Amino acid sequence: MCGIVGYVGEKKVTPLLLEALEKLEYRGYDSAGIALMTDNGIGIKKTRGRIADLRKIVEESGECGSTVGIGHTRWATHGEPSDVNSHPHLSKSGRVAVVHNGIIENYMELRDFLITRGYEFAGETDSEVVSELIDYCYSGDPVYAVRKAELQLKGSYALGIIFSDFPDQIFALRKDSPLIVGIGERENFIASDIPAILKYTRDVFRLDERELAVLTRRSVTVLNSFGERVDHVIEHIEWDSGAAEKGGYPHFMIKEIMEQPDAISKTIAPRLAEGGGIELGFKSISDEDLKNIESIKITACGSAYHVGVVAKHLLKKWLNIPVEAELASEFRYDDPIINERTLVIVISQSGETLDSLYALREAKAKGARTVSIVNVVASSIANESEEVLYTWAGPEISVATTKAYSTQLVLIELFGIRMAQLRGTMSPERSAALIESIKGIPEGVSHILKDVQTIQYMASLYFNSQSVFFLGRNIDFALSLEASLKLKEISYIHSEAYAAGELKHGTISLIEDDTLVIALCTYRPLLEKMISNIKEVKARGAKVIAIINEDDIQTGTVADHIIRIPECDEIATPSLTIVPLQLFAYYIASLKGCDIDKPRNLAKSVTVE
């Protein structure tokens, strides 16, 4: 959430900052602003609303010719969305401007301290405290001022800072919130994420914890918390900037849904070894370590957590050991029972999800072995895990995840099969069959995506629904969680997912005439029970869409509509079942005219607790 950009070079900075901020809109925001280094000091332009609103303000004020500046898109945490609460924040002295991602937990204490020293505050944000605190610590040395202020800050922060006394420099500092540095020819950049600056440079590196970067147009100096210079290996971004563009699609979400066959293939291919094996590429956790694991905890947030709930069912059966899926936001506050024979798997698309990062640190502190599944290379979670499995899904821009979810799912399945092979809990014949089924998932997804008309038609029937209920059992219930989340986050329709066996324990009281129920009926061992559940809601006036297997001839006789999933092994079924439900959510939101890629109040990368 929120987005930071910064530039020092020879180009006019205003259009560059505005364009870079537009590339970060997917992160979620409610206000935007820029701070420019001018001949008259630091100039601030900011507003509540979209970048288009900011652009109008900038155009009306005229081009200042500045070549140094910082910009920000804010997602409100402390203080309502407003012009005054927007970033950047300029100290009352006019000497220091700051953009900030994260949360300063002790901002009220610092605010009170500064007020007693004569400082005044115009807004309600925690971030305004940072600019005034740095100003208070400043006596001519900007690095000293930033470091002295940092000692007082509690919480998470990525900071972009400019000083009026140093008009050719940008300062950047991070703790628990991502920040990258881009290297160019006679120009350098800071940004929250690569797409913001990919048009201008492909050479980047990520700041590590508590590193302070000093950028000029000719150099970048990185200092650790001891003041020592640190050298970083420059990463050259290989994927094309077009991967972060819509490519003719009306929204990033539908583009990314359609990209899933290719994304899944790219996730699977590097893990398949000759002779039907699976190659994880681990260096710190040995095969022997995996054999000795006694329990697994999967922790994540949102859709990544839903991947963990699906995986829990599969891994528990394959490995014959306890496997739990836990919300990362609860994990470290729940006194998790873990030790050196516990494997903790952390799943995160961005690799920067703060709750998941804290859960990872809690697991490590208690001696657990740790593996992360992430998309973004060299992200915080990837760097701090013992081992990392990259999904290689490419950039995902839409806030509502689709291809990241699908690639995380196949990757954790491959991991589970490999672990079962090592532990001897799965026969060679069964593991070979499962691997072949996984290899067939891209083709199965492609088959579903070739015919979306049925989904569009059903969306046209039900886009005015007030409430939608998703029902399923076992893995189908786990998939219902994700399907419900997809619908509610982009269409704003109230939806809930329930284990179908819980209907009689209260949920069925919510069913009335024409209530839409989406029943997932692909888990074969409990199909007859699901049919009974469909009959129960139909008897109370519900309309039912059933997701069924290709050879299912029973369920279609009781549901109002059916969507068939191509015949496949149980391991592939979750990957195929979720696709029509992603499409259904998309077309519902499209018919309602919602802002699909940037749903209200949501952010792509949640870097605060």
Q: Which residues are catalytic?
A: 2, 604
CA 59 – CA 50 distance, rounded (Å): 15
List of long-range contacts for 165-168, beta carbons under 8 Å, 24+ apart:
165/95, 165/140, 166/142, 167/37, 167/68, 168/8, 168/37, 168/68, 168/216, 168/217
Q: Are 396 and 375 in contact (CB under 8 A)?
A: yes
Cβ proximity of 546 and 519 under 8 Å: yes
Return the closest-CA partner of residue 268 out of 437, 68, 383, 116. Answer: 437
Cα dihedral angle (504, 508, 513, 514), rounded to 10 degrees? -110
Q: Which two tokens stand for residue 69?
A: 């500046």
Listed in sequence order, the residues at least 6 apart from 209 whose beta carbon sits closer than 8 Å to its beta carbon are 174, 175, 176, 380
**Crossing angle of helices 453-462/573-592, nearest 10°?**
50
Provide the edge-to-edge strand list for the sheet that holds 68-74: 41-48, 31-38, 68-74, 3-8, 188-191, 180-183, 203-206, 235-236
Give the separation between CA 317 and CA 301, rounded to whole angstroms.
23
Q: Where are the alpha helices (DSSP H) in 123-276?
A: 127-137, 142-150, 252-258, 260-268
Tokens of 166: 């140093």
Are 580 and 150 in contact by the 8 Å Cβ rule? The answer is: no
Q: Using N-to-C axis directions, what is the helix angle for 573-592 and 475-491, rounded to 10°?
A: 20
**Which tokens go with 491?**
């269409």
